[in-house]
A and B are shown apart, each in its own frame.
Chain A
Amino acid sequence: MKLGRLSAILEAYGADPERWPADEREAALALTRSSVPAARALAEARMLDAVLLGQSFPDIADEPERFTVLHSAIVSATRHRAAVTWFGRWFGFDLTPSQLWPSIAGLALASVLGFAVGLGGLLKSEVDHETDEIAVLSPIELPAIGQ
């Protein structure tokens, strides 16, 4: 391995050989042991690693209570979601558009038919009222008594 490639590896992955590409690790390590500039490049990379690793976030695995709370929140949310999913599946909400299309078409047809039947009934009902009104308002011609 040449120094240029080692520098690129250090620039990309840092100083820890565990992070280096596995197929180049041995050759890179050998170069750091045999070359002073390579060893210097490794030390510089180590310095930047140390700075970056200074970014510390608490690990939730070290906080059992917090871990449990978050775990419970995630799992319990799915219980609610499971009920919603069941409800959704009942109405075909989790189907793809192509699978959903026949259901939508059926629903639309039923709606149109329902509307038509309802409108027909309403019109018929209005006609009947009109007939009734005419019947009420029209003078009734009764035959004269005693004729």
Chain B
Amino acid sequence: MQSNAAFKRALRGPGHKLTRLPVAEPRSDEALMAAIATGDQVAFARLVERHLARTVGLATRLMGSRADGEEVAQEAFARVWSHAARWRPLGGGGNARFTTWLYRIVLNLAIDRKRRPTHAAMEDVDEPVDEADDGFVQIHRRQVSSAVTEAMMKLPERQRVALALCFFEGMSNIEAGKIMSLSVGAVESLLVRARRSLRQGLAGVYEELSEG
């Protein structure tokens, strides 16, 4: 509540009356980051709420495990909180949008973690499947999913990242290039190599699908 009051005061500026209610409008990531830089936890909660699902999704794709993905997401938001004061918005001295910066943090944390030896989380171990009803379909889906995850994890780091950003997260090659600090051409080249490797690595699944 205090943060809302502070936000209203900031919008009013000295000696100006508030003519409309700014709280009814969603605050931009940049506005939230400015508030977080002053220690505003309400703004932080709002920002996390807005980006949590996609951050977990990206981290999970990069890590190949939901549990690891959630841990990376937690760590990434902790960094957002602790580095908020140093972040500069695009056009305000910075060179990236908030999401570009956030995904770069996720990417770095995921790469860092991937290089460390880990143990498999219990959560990632397949649960027994009820073979009644669509049990066999479920088993098949899991097998395909596991095969793709395994093949993805075998890709060189940068190919995996490019594929996760562009194919799975639907980012443009320009945005992916900014996150990865690469040119659009370099991103495209990584994507081509990644998909070629996956086509070879997933030949069995691929043929099964072609025949079906």
Does B41 lie at the interface of the complex (its beta carbon under 8 Å from any beta carbon of A)? yes
Closest A-B pairs by Cβ, 6 of them: A55-B148, A54-B144, A61-B53, A12-B191, A11-B192, A12-B188
When A and B form their complex, what is the total count of cross-chain residue pairs whose Cβ atoms lie within 8 Å? 111
- Confirm or deny: B110 has a beta carbon within 8 angstroms of a beta carbon on chain A: no
State whether B167 touches A71 (Cβ < 8 A): no
Is B39 in the interface zone, CB < 8 Å from A? yes
For window 18-49 of A, CB contacts with B under 8 Å fall at 18-19, 21-22, 47-49
A74 at the A/B interface (Cβ < 8 Å)?
yes
Contact A19 B44 (CB under 8 A): no
A11 to B70, CA, bound (A): 31
Residue B31 lies at the interface, judged by CB distance under 8 Å to chain A: no
A-side contacts of B198, CB under 8 Å: 48, 51-52
Q: Known interface pairs A18-B170, A58-B66. Does A77 touch B78 (Cβ–Cβ under 8 Å)?
A: yes
CA distance A18 to B152 in the complex (A): 22
Scoring A50, A70, A81 by chain B CB atoms within 10 A of each residue's CB, the highest score goes to A70
Chain A residues with Cβ below 8 Å from B66 are 57-58
Structural contact, A48 and B206, CB atoms closer than 8 A:
yes
Q: A67–B70 Cα gap in the complex (Å)?
A: 10
Inter-subunit contact A70/B73 (CB<8 Å): yes
Report A-chain residues with C-beta under 8 Å of the C-beta of B172.
21-22
Q: Is B25 located at the chain interface by the 8 A CB criterion?
A: no
> Complex Cα distance A54/B149, Å?
10
